Amino acid sequence: MILITLPDLAFEDTLLAGARNGSHESLRQIFDLYYDSIYQYIRLRVEDAPQAEDMASDVFVKLLDSLRKGKAPRQSLRGWLFKVARNAIYDHYGKRKRLTLIDLEEWIPSEGDEPELQFMQTLNAESLRAALRLLTDEQQEVLILRFGQMLSLQETAAIMGKHVNAIKALQFRATNALRRTLNQLRSELAHG
């Protein structure tokens, strides 16, 4: 089991206050704390790894610019960073083009070197990838933010520009659609 430790809001506020006052140490800690999550979020949607790295770095450049202009995030720093990352993804693809979901295998941790286990992990990753591709962009995004990035309902709502109740409903529909699709794919594999 993977345990993700998230910073509390008080610590985030302390870092943000330091960054507002020009503390290089606070800025470095913010970058160290959030870069990997922001990169992974972008990388799930952008096929080119160097492009995703550049886009993730640009998120932090925008934070620095906002701090310099006195327009620092007012609520959750993490939520603000993910919203900027989401906008960067939409700008990258253009708002009309359907977003792509790239290979998930690199995000699934390897449990060992046994060939049978590797095969099952690959099969599970392929099934999950196929099922996720059948969801709408919004359904994919809510699942990535809530379960992939461990964001709260409130943070996810702020990032997606929706009310918390709309996120709850979207998450419910997305998990049900994903469950149905995975069950159907497993059934086809068992009988095919």
Residue 84 pLDDT greater than 80, yes or no: yes
Residue 85's pLDDT band, with cuts at 50, 70 and 90, is: very high
The token pair at 147 is 């379960």
* Four-residue CA torsion sign, 88, 91, 95, 101: negative
Fold assignment, 108-192: Arc Repressor Mutant, subunit A (1.10.10)
Residue 75 pLDDT greater than 70, yes or no: yes
Residue 96 pLDDT greater than 50, yes or no: no
Can you spell out the DSSP letters for 45-109?
T-S-HHHHHHHHHHHHHHHHHHHHTT---SS-HHHHHHHHHHHHHHHHH-TTSPPP----GGGSP
Give start-end residues of each CATH 1.10.1740.10 domain in the chain.
1-100
pTM for this prediction: 0.70
Give the right CATH number for 1-100 from 3.20.20.10, 1.10.1740.10, 3.40.50.720, 3.40.50.1820.
1.10.1740.10
Give start-end residues of each CATH 1.10.10.10 domain in the chain.
108-192
pLDDT in tens, 135-180: 898 999 999 898 888 889 999 999 999 999 999 999 999 999 988 9
Give the Cα separation of 46 and 91 in Å (integer). 11
